[in-house]
Amino acid sequence: MSFYQTILVAIDLNEDADRVIQKAHEIGLQGNATLTLIHVTEPLSYAYGGDIPMDLSEVQKQLHERAKLRMSELVNQHKLRAVNQLLVSGHIQTEVHRVANELSTDLVVVGSHGRHGLALLLGSTSNGILHGAKCDVLAVRV
Amino acid sequence: MSFYQTILVAIDLNEDADRVIQKAHEIGLQGNATLTLIHVTEPLSYAYGGDIPMDLSEVQKQLHERAKLRMSELVNQHKLRAVNQLLVSGHIQTEVHRVANELSTDLVVVGSHGRHGLALLLGSTSNGILHGAKCDVLAVRV
């Protein structure tokens, strides 16, 4: 038997996160797995074209703080012990793959819908999580 | 906690099936889940255009028998008890969804590569397993 040992849970910080975390937690129990929650925020500058010069760093900082708070709430709510929390800024698929590789993750858990959802899994071209994943991927129906 | 109770494992009948079945089995252990293995063969007539009239029923029957044998071997090999075995003919995604719904499956497990692999998961258009699934989907890296 080779239960999952290292699980990376990619979450939005909305109500869907509950179900995704719960599933990851259940599966992790069997192998006493290390759980890492990751939330990736895309820099505002990606969305904002930048035609009008504007300093977004303060807003970005606030978003980061709120995300941090929300993630802590989720961890407490699910009574997760010894869970790693990662808040990362960048392209979602890229960052999930990078962290999954760095941690030698054997399972990535992600919601199948929601803000990132299917787009995250499938990618707009061939850059979705499933394509590039070197490990198992669980899509939790949310 | 709501461990998976009803798991549908869609397999090719090649060496990749081992890993897919093993993972499904491990995850199922936790909730004492009912495992159903499904292998879908597309009718030869789908691939064969039919310009020259030809009776494929005998070949089809032989393929079915071999698949049945191979599936039994896999079940014995993995010492799976009380596992359901389904050999179905038709379009793969359609049949997996149909059976998943009929059995009120809460997890579909499928290999992420192989003959069906990604194509099965993602579909050529929007008919992949992930799109239409009403439950969680685990893509096992094979």
DSSP B13-79: SSTHHHHHHHHHHHHHHHHTPEEEEEEEEPPHHHHS--SS----HHHHHHHHHHHHHHHHHHHHHTT
Calculated CA dihedral for residues B108, A126, A35, A111, nearest 10 degrees: -50
Nearest to A8, CA basis, from A42, A29, A34, A27: A34
Q: Which two tokens stand for residue B19?
A: 């890993």
Residue A1 vs residue B104, higher pLDDT: B104
pLDDT score at A15 = 81
User: Under a CB-based contact definition with an 8 Å cutoff, are residues B88 and B96 in contact?
Assistant: no
Would the CB atoms of A134 and B141 count as touching at under 8 Å? Answer: yes
| CB-based burial label for A71 (10 Å; 0-12, 13-18, 19+) | buried
pLDDT band at residue A107 under the 50/70/90 scheme: very high
Q: Which residue has the tokens 């990132």?
A: A116
Average pLDDT, chain A: 82
Average pLDDT, chain B: 82
pLDDT score at B126 = 42
Least CB–CB distance from B130: residue in A2, A30, A112: A112
Q: Which residue has the tokens 């990535």?
A: A108
Q: Which residues of B touch A97 (CB under 8 A)?
A: none
Whether the pLDDT of residue A127 is over 50: the answer is: no
Question: How confident is the model over B25-47, as pLDDT tens digits?
Answer: 988 887 789 999 999 887 777 66
Would the CB atoms of A112 and B118 count as touching at under 8 Å? Answer: no
Residue B97 vs residue A48, higher pLDDT: B97
CA distance B89 to B64: 9
**Within an 8 Å CB–CB cutoff, is residue A76 touching chain B?**
no
Mean pLDDT computed over A49-56: 73
CA distance A111 to B5: 19
Whether the pLDDT of residue B81 is over 70: the answer is: yes
Q: Which two tokens stand for residue A76?
A: 């407490």
CA distance B91 to B26: 28
This prediction's pTM: 0.84
Whether the pLDDT of residue B103 is over 80: the answer is: yes
Whether the pLDDT of residue A101 is over 90: the answer is: yes
Complex ipTM, two decimals?
0.81
Least CB–CB distance from B139: residue in A23, A27, A130: A130
pLDDT band at residue A126 under the 50/70/90 scheme: very low
Give A77→chain B minimum CA distance, Å: 14
